[in-house]
Amino acid sequence: MRTDVDTDTDQVSLAVSTVIFALRPHPTTGRTTLWLPLVRRIREPYEGRWALPGGPLRPDEDLAASARHTLERTTGLAPRHLEQLYSFGAVDRSPEDRVVSIVYWALVRPDEDARATDGENVEWFVADDVRGLAFDHDTILRYALARLRAKITYSPIAFAFVTPEFTLADLRAVHEAVLDRSLDPANFRRQVLASGTVTATGSYLTGTSHRPPALYRRAALPEEIR
Amino acid sequence: MRTDVDTDTDQVSLAVSTVIFALRPHPTTGRTTLWLPLVRRIREPYEGRWALPGGPLRPDEDLAASARHTLERTTGLAPRHLEQLYSFGAVDRSPEDRVVSIVYWALVRPDEDARATDGENVEWFVADDVRGLAFDHDTILRYALARLRAKITYSPIAFAFVTPEFTLADLRAVHEAVLDRSLDPANFRRQVLASGTVTATGSYLTGTSHRPPALYRRAALPEEIR
């Protein structure tokens, strides 16, 4: 019986890749939608194609540290929400060698996103419009989108996309952007208030209308669902 | 900007490890509880210590295939429920070299478990009693137990531990074993029936009492929460 670390082969390489989601206005509709930064490859294989930012795992680097470094290089950001998503290791995912990618995802808050600075060969794209990425990165992106859309229905992940104080309209915009459909404001408000996941701060959004919307913050939960 | 597979170092090794949970009677209380098989290490580091079954990823092997092979070698089983759990890559998790372990978990149904055959140097243990494993395997096991205990509250994962047709008492025993506490039978019954996750088969468990319990199967759900 073998166990974990009795490795006798070094023919498999390990990379850490990142899916970085932020909410920005759609270029034509103006509606808040999911974007992500991609990196243009400057060498073969897949030269000229777009790819998820990432790189080989350095021997002295933890997995999350590797993802944080990629994030910093790609976007200049250090978003609070960074977690491991999944590892992709199909034998044929890279044409020339065997590479397993451990994928992290980052969810960027609007106040964090305001400080984003694009790295070299980096551009942001509307996530649902992206096709033709290098390697199996289309598959990875579809997986990340599906996970995000499932998780927002049963976990507090939506809060990763709002500032610490937010209006219910802010929170609804996150759900609408992630689910890619409109939600009835009155129903959404009723459901969120009934869920016990938010607490009114007692303050209101100033400088807006004659009926300024109330500000909320995330309620402390007994236990997080991850 | 680097992307995914521009690997220029092979100093990190990759292993696939497995956490294999089955429900068996507790050796002293007789209550159904979580067990897992471990492998005794026959060489350094950690010679003589117990470890999660696993091994280096072969270049021609997909991740799940590697986990399936380990499962087969360790238990003789091919359980239906096998999924990727998490990847562990702390720099110091192995004393001599840098090894990242991608961990899969298998949940074994009672009818599958009945066919288990222990591999060489393999023994089964009560999961919550296990301490002092090799490497960071204590951490991995704690993580798996925490995930299982969280997931059973919001996902259909409990069905991985019952046969296709089951009584509500069978399903309750799974929840009690995973959560490690007793549940009120009437409350449990009411909650499960209200959840819409089970359907009565119209059949009854034969050869038991004068009031044989009804058999259920899992209801088809519109969308799985994973």
Q: Please, which residues 180-209 of chain B have a Cβ atom closer than 8 Å to chain A? A: none
> Mind listing the domains of chain A with CATH numbers?
13-151 (3.90.79.10), 156-218 (1.10.10.10)
Distance CA B112, CA B99 (A): 32
The neighbouring-strand residues paired with A20 are: A106
Tell if the CB–CB gap between B59 and A12 is shorter than 8 Å. Answer: yes
Give the closest of A40, A58, A94 to B5, CB-based.
A94
Residue type, A45: P
Is the pLDDT reported for residue A30 higher than 80? Answer: yes
All residues of chain B having their beta carbon less than 8 Å from the beta carbon of residue A136 are none
Q: Let me know: does B57 contact B68? Beta carbons within 8 Å.
A: no
Cross-chain residue pair B1–A119, CB shorter than 8 Å: yes
Using the Cβ of A92 and the Cβ atoms of chain B, whether some distance falls under 8 Å is answered with no
Q: Mean pLDDT across the stretch A163-169?
A: 95
Looking at the complex, does the CB of residue B18 fall below 8 Å from at least one CB of chain A? no
> What distance in Å separates the CA atoms of residue A20 and residue A184, rounded to the nearest whole number?
28
Does the beta carbon of A156 lie under 8 angstroms from any beta carbon of chain B? no
Of chain A, the percentage scoring pLDDT greater than 90 comes to: 83
Of A6 and A123, the one with more pLDDT: A123
Chain A with chain B: Cβ pairs closer than 8 A? 186
List, as one string, the DSSP characters of chain A: --BTT-------EEEEEEEEEEEEE-TTT--EEEEEEEEE--SSSSTT-EE-BEEEPPTT--HHHHHHHHHHHHHS---SEEEEEEEE--TTSSSSS-EEEEEEEEEE-HHHHTT----TTEEEEEGGG----STTHHHHHHHHHHHHHHHTTTSGGGGGGS-SSB-HHHHHHHHHHHHTS---HHHHHHHHHHHT-EEEEEEE--SS-SSPPEEEEEPPPSS---
**For range A110-118, the mean pLDDT:** 92
State residue A7's pLDDT score.
45
On average, the pLDDT of chain A sits at 91
Q: Model confidence over A38-48: pLDDT tens digits?
A: 999 999 999 99
What does the pLDDT read at residue A223?
52
Number of other CB atoms surrounding residue A9 within 10 Å: 11
- Both tokens of B183, joined, read 């549940």
Q: What are phi and psi of B42, to 5 degrees?
A: -110, 10
What ipTM goes with this model? Answer: 0.87
Tens-level pLDDT at each residue, chain B (226 residues): 555 554 444 589 999 999 999 999 999 999 999 999 999 999 999 999 999 999 999 999 999 999 999 999 999 999 899 999 999 999 999 988 999 999 999 999 999 999 999 999 999 999 999 999 999 999 999 999 999 999 998 889 999 999 999 999 999 999 999 999 999 999 999 999 999 999 999 999 987 677 899 999 999 765 544 4
**B15 touching A, CB under 8 A?**
yes
CA-CA distance, A100 to A16, in Å (whole number)?
Answer: 8
Report the pLDDT value the prediction gives residue A222, as an integer from 0 to 100. Answer: 56
**Residue A122's closest chain B neighbor by CA?**
B1
Q: β-strands B98-108, B12-25: how paired?
A: parallel
Work out the minimum CA distance from A189 to partner chain B, whole angstroms. 23
Nearest CA in chain A to B99: A5
Q: How far apart are the CA of A127 and the nearest CA of chain B, in angstroms?
A: 18
How close A2 gets to chain B, by Cα (Å)?
Answer: 6
* A51-98 pLDDT tens trace: 999 999 999 999 999 999 999 999 999 989 999 999 999 999 998 899
What is the structure's pLDDT at A1?
A: 52
Tell whether B5 lies on the interface with A, counting CB pairs under 8 A.
Answer: yes
